[in-house]
Amino acid sequence: MNNIINRIDKISNDIELAEFFLDHAKVAMVPGSAFGTPGCMRISFATSMENIREGVKRIKDAL
């Protein structure tokens, strides 16, 4: 995640990165710092493969 954080202007931590993806990709993630692992992200895979593919596409497009 740190490579992504450093590539996006005005993103300096995992919380800001989670907000970026929610705003720009409409994909919700939980910052790892909420669980004691800053610089990481938590993503739920408890959905259909179709939804996972769409989410990954949105993340890719936002980058």
Return the pLDDT at 8.
Answer: 79
Instruction: Determine the Cα–Cα distance for residues 36 and 40; give it in Å rounded to an integer.
Output: 9
Domain of residue 38: give its range.
Answer: 2-62
pLDDT in tens, the chain (63 residues): 667 776 777 888 999 999 999 999 999 999 999 999 998 999 999 999 999 999 999 999 998
Per the confidence metrics, is the pTM higher than 0.75?
A: yes
Q: Specify whether the CB–CB gap between 19 and 58 falls below 8 A.
A: no
Q: What is the CATH number of the domain that holds 55?
A: 3.90.1150.10
Domains contained in the chain, number? 1
Going from the C-alpha of 43 to that of each of 6, 9, 10, 26, 55, the distances in angstroms are: 20, 22, 22, 13, 10
